[in-house]
Amino acid sequence: MLNSERYDRQIKLQGFGIEAQDKLASAKVLVIGAGGLGCPVLQYLTAAGIGNIGIVDDDRVSLSNLHRQILYISDDVGKLKTEAAFERLNAMNPEVQFRVVSERINPQNAVTIVSEYDIIIDCTDNFATRYLLDDVCRILEKPLIFGAIYQYEGQVVVFNVRNKEGFTTHYRNLFPEPPNPGEVPDCNEAGVLGVLPGVIGTLQATEAIKLMTGIGEPLINKLMTIDILSYQTAVFEIPSLNLTDKNIPYSIEEFENMNYQLHCGIEFAGIKNISPSEFKEAVKLPDTVVIDVREPEEQPKLDVPYISIPLSQLKENVSQINNRNVIVICQSGKRSLSGAKILQEILGPEYSISHLEGGINHLNKETHE
């Protein structure tokens, strides 16, 4: 039974009332990603009284998360984000039903997970998952609320909902092709002001509430951008384009056979992705060299021998590489993949080229667990 006292202040709103609150109580919302964006989304939707919330994330809380992922505390470091989030959210509002999925969403599990919910909220930070969610929501006809952050700027948009004119747009209308690996750094590499995901995540939660209750005018087919240093905001209409790319799936079967890592250039034929444990063994092998493509000032430094060649200078300095087994590293694994591709094209098949998946961040996380 609805506890009207808990939601009294929003029930009193003109145009909201008990009817809108009942709609929230019967809604099912899926939040993909329990990081910087996901934390405020989860907190505000839980407090608002959403009936059923799904949380999908396979990551664990790290100390570097805490300045912006304020759902977590120091004692949560090392815990699965889904478990730490559930513990805190359930204490916040025990009237909400939660389902946690502590695994990465992929083409094999996405249809099963997404089909159970009314609204999907994309709080991820990588292009492969964004295209995956865009495709599965389009195929299953699920509204998708997208948010993104970069340093001091953020974006919010509602996809896959028909506007008054009867057409809808998708993430692929905004970004038809994924950028090259390393071209757009994430917050691990570029940094982010801690309050920014709070602002954007709160806007995503607001859009979800508007869609569920029918109040206001959601950002359907509209991209809202905000710069928190200047507070300049803008809203752009997104044109509806015909999706004709042969790499776009149009059925569940096609979707489940998609390789989003390959589609977004995260995998390349002939380049091996190695894990931290594989990296530790590989550096012991003869005729092996480690190439760090980060900028010289980036920390932390490796405790194994390496050659520092920033990605922007790699092509001009390939002559420094005399070993047949080459391992490329960076902070998060994005620039290293770009570097590995460059070396593969220049050095040819005689060389074994690999890169450290997840970068030094992943290496340090596994070392400390």
Ranges of residues in the chain with a pLDDT under 70 are 1-2, 179-190, 242-246, 261-270, 365-369
Question: Quick one: pLDDT at residue 286?
Answer: 84
For the purposes of burial, counting CB atoms within 10 Å of the CB of 117, is it exposed (0-12), middle (13-18) or buried (19 or more)?
buried
SS3 at position 112: helix
Question: Quick one: pLDDT at residue 192?
Answer: 82
- β partners of residue 112: none
- Region of 163 (left: φ > 0; alpha: ψ -120 to 50; beta: rest) is beta
Give the architecture-level CATH label for domain 7-264: 3-Layer(aba) Sandwich (3.40)
Instruction: Specify the domain boundaries for CATH 3.40.250.10 within the chain.
Output: 271-364
Q: pLDDT for 13-44, tens place per residue? A: 999 999 999 999 999 999 999 999 999 999 99
**Three-state secondary structure of 36-99:** CCHHHHHHHHHHHCCCEEEEECCCECCHHHCCCCCCCCHHHCCCEHHHHHHHHHHHHCCCCEEE
SS3 at position 26: coil
Enumerate residues 6+ apart whose C-beta is below 8 A from 197.
35, 36, 37, 39, 40, 68, 69, 149, 154
Q: Which amino acid is at 348?
A: G
Choose which CATH entry (3.10.110.10, 3.40.250.10, 3.30.56.10, 3.60.15.10) describes domain 271-364: 3.40.250.10
- β partners of residue 325: 288, 352
Instruction: Specify the domain boundaries for CATH 3.40.50.720 within the chain.
Output: 7-264
